[in-house]
A and B are shown apart, each in its own frame.
Chain A
């Protein structure tokens, strides 16, 4: 008995060692230092500011490739800072003077960056047809042909509700295009976190010799949504 008793005591000590190791945490009235694994970082705030920072780590920041995204540093370890950034390169597209002898095209880009685990989607809808009072330019079906009154949109991204372009937005006859409608249609997406994901929106139109003269316009609304 005397010989086995110490053995049991040792076993009990080992078994009751806590199963988790707590990282050093330090705080003050105005900050909590929440991460310290050979690097420094955390969420800090005061009356007039709040910030997160990270340092001492390797390749800090956000990185991505075609099918994955990574986050290195405090912000991504704790994943507190949800982010979705959406940029439209131009809020005005002028197709100029349309011709029955050709297809006219013009474009802008959209750019998305997000750490949303499920990526993002961008949609577009219109407030009505390209119009001048009661006169409208007819919607395109699958493309815009020279000499046919048609107007539509193509995207450089694939797998969207709006058709994918033919790598160019230069008034090719015909130019691939789908009708823009008052219902949301996707124009760009990604299934994972991504940074600086740029897509080109290509608008095309042509007319007939009898298309009513005037200045036509309409307003499109773009919406970006992240899946976190």
Chain B
């Protein structure tokens, strides 16, 4: 009897070897089969959009910054997608700047030239296409800055801006494209992003007389008598102030006698019946004459007659804080001036020009 088993046995042995070899091979390549053949997409980090206005329906600049863990090759695109509520229709290439780690890329409307990137806005999607072979590739971990609006001044000058949505709320802006990484951020659109601060400063003026009496004492024909007091003025009047004096009549006695006003030579002379007033405001020209000392150091004292008409004795052209003017009343008499007690009333008026 012919033995067929050896033939079958040979085939079985070959099969076993084949199976064993296959198992060994598979075990050897197993680690590589479990490696993913695709690159894991990463999320953009540190994404911000600093706007110049958050108010509804107003235009604003955008400064969008993000870090790309993977980088962007010069054949890939970056897209920035705004919600449809934003009006991006006016944005053109000159209104967009792109910077890589602080260095501006050159941009154009497309990649036909030698610029680093083509920039185009369509349908609320800003597409930045890095141009192949033009050196605009962005390395891994780079910080990318995209300026949109009048803040784009590096590659052309931006004149157009994006208009904010017409209703308030948090709005999501997506960053993607054919680049590996992607992400999104939010901006808060508000009914009003501004605060108006106001304050009132009232007009003020104060005038304070240091005394309500001025005693000339006992007059005689051998001297000039004096008395003085101050007017202290404070005001925020932008054009300053004016102070005036008038009387209710001459310096007079109850018997009807009076001391004559200075006789028109702008002084009171010793031994002459004269009475008048002077002021120490020597800045500018006032109706009341400037004082010459308000003391009995000579035989005359500068003085102006006080009348029933207001006459200016102090002023300033701007605001003042505690400006003091001294008024000096002076008088002398003749040996024949009637005896008696003489007096009169003077009124001071200070007026601010606001």
Binding site for B on A (CB under 8 A): 1, 5, 8, 11-12, 15-16, 19, 80-88, 90-98, 104, 108, 114, 116, 118, 130, 132, 135, 137, 151, 201, 203, 205, 207-228
Which residues in A have their C-beta under 8 angstroms from that of B186?
82-84, 114, 116, 226, 228
CA distance A104 to B197 in the complex (A): 13
Q: Let me know if A212 and B48 touch, CB within 8 A.
A: no
Which residues in A have their C-beta under 8 angstroms from that of B185?
82, 84, 116, 226, 228
Assuming A207-B201, A225-B50, what are 8 further A-B pairs, CB within 8 angstroms?
A1-B20, A96-B200, A130-B199, A212-B236, A213-B238, A223-B193, A225-B187, A228-B183
Q: Smallest distance from the beta carbon of A186 to chain B beta carbons, Å?
A: 12
Number of interface residues of B (CB under 8 A): 49
| CB contact list, B164-190 vs A, under 8 A | 170, 172, 183-188, 190
Q: Let me know if A209 and B184 touch, CB within 8 A.
A: no
| CB contact list, B1-42 vs A, under 8 A | 16, 19-20, 23, 26-27, 30, 33-34
B46 within 8 A of A: yes
Q: Let me know if A226 and B198 touch, CB within 8 A.
A: no
Which residues in B have their C-beta under 8 angstroms from that of A84?
170, 185-188
Q: Let me know if B195 and A108 touch, CB within 8 A.
A: yes
27 contacts between A and B (CB under 8 A): A8-B23, A11-B27, A12-B23, A15-B27, A82-B186, A84-B186, A84-B188, A86-B190, A93-B198, A94-B197, A94-B199, A132-B201, A203-B197, A210-B235, A211-B201, A212-B319, A213-B201, A213-B236, A214-B200, A219-B195, A219-B197, A220-B197, A223-B50, A223-B193, A224-B188, A228-B46, A228-B185
Q: With A209-B321, A226-B48, A228-B48 as given contacts, are A91 and B196 in contact (CB-CB < 8 Å)? A: yes
CA distance A121 to B79 in the complex (A): 25
CA distance A137 to B201 in the complex (A): 10
Q: Which residue of B lies closest to A137 (CB)?
A: B199
Which residues in A have their C-beta under 8 angstroms from that of B201?
97-98, 132, 207, 211-214, 216
B78 within 8 A of A: no
Q: Let me know if A210 and B188 touch, CB within 8 A.
A: no
Q: Let me know if A5 and B54 touch, CB within 8 A.
A: no
The residue among B30, B50, B185, B186 with the most chain A CB atoms within 10 A of its own CB is: B186
CA distance A108 to B197 in the complex (A): 11
Q: Let me know if B196 and A228 touch, CB within 8 A.
A: no
Q: Smallest distance from the beta carbon of B321 to chain A beta carbons, Å?
A: 5
Which residues in B have their C-beta under 8 angstroms from that of A227?
46-48
CA distance A209 to B319 in the complex (A): 8
B263 within 8 A of A: no
B234 within 8 A of A: yes
Q: Let me know if A223 and B52 touch, CB within 8 A.
A: yes
Q: Let me know if B197 and A130 touch, CB within 8 A.
A: yes
Q: Let me know if A222 and B48 touch, CB within 8 A.
A: no
Which residues in B have their C-beta under 8 angstroms from that of A88?
190, 192-193, 195
Q: Let me know if B199 and A213 touch, CB within 8 A.
A: no
Q: Which residue of A lies closest to B36 (CB)?
A: A19
B202 within 8 A of A: yes
CB 8 Å contact bits of B282-293 with A (1 = contact, 0 = none): 000000000000
Q: Smallest distance from the beta carbon of A149 to chain B beta carbons, Å?
A: 9
Q: Let me know if A217 and B196 touch, CB within 8 A.
A: yes
CA distance A135 to B237 in the complex (A): 13
Q: With A92-B195, A92-B196, A96-B199 as given contacts, are A82 and B321 in contact (CB-CB < 8 Å)? A: no
B203 within 8 A of A: yes
Q: Smallest distance from the beta carbon of B67 to chain A beta carbons, Å?
A: 11
B204 within 8 A of A: yes
Which of B184, B192, B198 lies in contact with A217, CB distance below 8 A?
Answer: B198
Which residues in B have their C-beta under 8 angstroms from that of A220?
194-197
Which of B49, B184, B192, B319 lies in contact with A91, CB distance below 8 A?
Answer: B192
